[in-house]
Structure 1
Amino acid sequence: MRNATTAAATATPPLVSWGLLPAGLLSASAVVLFGVRAAVPGYALLVAALALAFVVNRALFKDLLLLALGLLIISTISVEANIDYPNMALMGTVLALAVLVPYLISRYGYRDHAIRFPIRTGQRWSTPERWYLVIVVGLGYVILPTYFIRSGVYQNWPAVTAPDEIARLFVGVGFVGIWDELFFICVAFTLLRRHFPDWQANLLQAVIFCSFLWELGYQSWGPLMTFPFALLQGYTFKLTRSLTYVVCVHLLFDVVVFLVIVHAHTREWLAIFPY
């Protein structure tokens, strides 16, 4: 028989609950840590979120603790775009740990399978799902050049001209895109939807997602783009239950991001974008 904690985490989530307070505080901590870049207030919000969750709902506390550990690990470094070899190694290691530590604690500490990475679902992509991939590329082609170039945020990424620099930028953009889905969808969204309706869990993870991308470089009016994108990725994962699919969506979008950044720094290259 399942214990009370597991049963509480897997029951149908209520529309309104006291648990929204600590979960909201945890999402707010990401805004402070990554958006405002204020470590002490951000950590204070994290501690307050966990303390309140411990009082309100022990099952929620356990899952928020996993998410808080991930955020804490990420906050130990700057995630600003820097493709120097040492920084790429450091950032890759830290981001990997931010996913691995919550997973291992959940799997071997809590002995549950809350965090999963559904790569093979056994289902073929439907025609609408295939067309959505095409639409994503089209939207990226129309939106991203205007955003990056007119706002000037392309300068948050380094100019690349040498072959190895171009390769590092391509790998870096792709790696972060894959990691985004591993952490924000398979960890954050998955854990939050155990306790809240899907739309609430999606909003909470989107705040964290958007805050991380702000520090990464998606600033100016970037949140007007990244927040809806985060919501769409959560909703898409809910519909498809496929990590592979949401990663493909993200990587297709990121290919356009990469091409636009290269063009923005060296305008005679890839002069194929409207803006």
Structure 2
Amino acid sequence: MGWHAGEVPADLPTSLPTTDRAALSLTTVLPAVGVSLSAFLLFGLMLPGWGHGLLVLSLAAAWWVSRELGKDLSLIGIGIAIVSITSVEADVHWDRFFTIGIVLLLAVLAPSLIDRLVYRRHAIRFPWRTGQKWSRLEKSYLVAVPLLGWLILPFYFISSGTYLNWPYITDGSELARFFVGVNFVGTWDELFFICTCFALLRRHFPVWLANLLQATIFVSFLWELGYREWGPLLTAPFALLQGWIFTKTGSLTYVLIVHLLFDVVVFLSIVHAHNPGVMGFFLVG
């Protein structure tokens, strides 16, 4: 009936303690906090000089503390640095559509390839199949997610004016690009923030701390993307919940379906906000 229990990756080096029993210390926590805060500076406050400086300093400290910590935080840092080379503010013009897409792909591929080809391990994994059936609670949650989105998202986008951070769609081609873009970014979120950042942080820290650190990066990225005003009150719980669910299920497929169901409502809500009266099934118009 409940959520399935997740497992620590099988290839966790024996030199590392099991994270649930690991004693936390400032020397290990501060570099990880610095990496997460660098994302806040880069994406949330949009301060590239300060953000990149904090990122480099934090990675240097991580390598000084522990080779394994340095390796894992460097993979996260590489992804963050790659994303920071371009603005990720929502844009459906062809040049930005492909630029953002390529940058985000590189941000996932580079850490994964370095992990496999340079570090010679498989710390970053994308567990599409777990062999476990979804429980009744998990199936019910798949229904609850779009329902909650239907209740909350139109009110958020319209009352805060945040929908203006997304482009006004004028033709079918732009609408198609917008739909693809929303789903592509939603998929990328799970590949990078959960399967990369959270999984690597989980090798060194308890679930609660690793989840807070990945959520800081996650929410900072979503702020630049367009979820501003009081958006973090929605995106922070969502990011934390995705990390927690992934810990319990161990299934990328499940958390991705949850995310994409939510993003369908995001797409419809933004189109509705730009075109009042077009969709009559939302409570806020």
Question: What TM-score does the superposition give when structure 2 sets the normalisation length?
Answer: 0.93
Q: Which residue of 1 aligns with 2:161?
A: 152
Deviation, 1:39, is: 0.5
Q: Which residue of 2 aligns with 1:88?
A: 97
Deviation, 1:108, is: 1.1
SS in 2 for 1:64: helix
2:150 paired residue among 141, 165, 170: 141
Cα shift readout 1:43-89 (whole Å, capped 9, x = no counterpart): 11001111111121211011000000000000000000001111111
Is the 8 Å Cα contact of residues 9 and 60 (structure 1) preserved in structure 2? no
Q: Which runs of 4+ in 1 moved over 2 A?
A: 5-13
Is the 8 Å Cα contact of residues 28 and 65 (structure 2) preserved in structure 1? yes
Q: Which residue of 2 aligns with 1:235?
A: 244
Is the 8 Å Cα contact of residues 67 and 188 (structure 1) preserved in structure 2? yes
Percent identity over paired residues = 58
Moved more, 239-248 or 264-273: 264-273
- Distance in 2, matches of 1:124 and 1:138, equals 23
Q: How is 1:1-275 mapped onto 2 (pairs within 5 angstroms)?
A: 6-9=13-16, 11-12=18-19, 14-17=22-25, 18-275=27-284
Deviation, 1:10, is: 5.7
Q: Which consecutive unaligned segments of at least 5 residues does structure 1 have?
A: none
Count of residues in Structure 1 that have an aligned counterpart in Structure 2: 271
Deviation, 1:37, is: 0.6
Amino acid at match of 2:160: S
SS in 2 for 1:8: coil
Amino acid at match of 1:172: G
Deviation, 1:122, is: 1.4
Question: What TM-score does the superposition give when structure 1 sets the normalisation length?
Answer: 0.96
SS in 2 for 1:19: helix
- Distance in 2, matches of 1:195 and 1:6, equals 11
- Distance in 1, matches of 2:187 and 2:57, equals 30
- Distance in 1, matches of 2:236 and 2:118, equals 33
Cα shift readout 1:179-229 (whole Å, capped 9, x = no counterpart): 000000000000000000011000000000000000000000000110010
- Distance in 1, matches of 2:260 and 2:273, equals 19
Is the 8 Å Cα contact of residues 31 and 59 (structure 2) preserved in structure 1? yes
SS in 2 for 1:6: coil
Moved more, 185-194 or 161-170: 161-170
Is the 8 Å Cα contact of residues 19 and 202 (structure 2) preserved in structure 1? no
Q: Which residue of 1 aligns with 2:3?
A: none
Higher relative contact order (CA 8 A, sep 6+): 2
Deviation, 1:15, is: 4.3
- Distance in 1, matches of 2:272 and 2:23, equals 46
- Distance in 2, matches of 1:153 and 1:270, equals 18
Deviation, 1:126, is: 1.3
Per the alignment, do residues 272 and 57 of structure 1 end up closer, same or farther by CA in structure 2, a change over 3 Å counting?
same
Amino acid at match of 2:15: A
Root-mean-square deviation (CA, aligned residues, Å) is: 1.2
- Distance in 2, matches of 1:258 and 1:79, equals 17
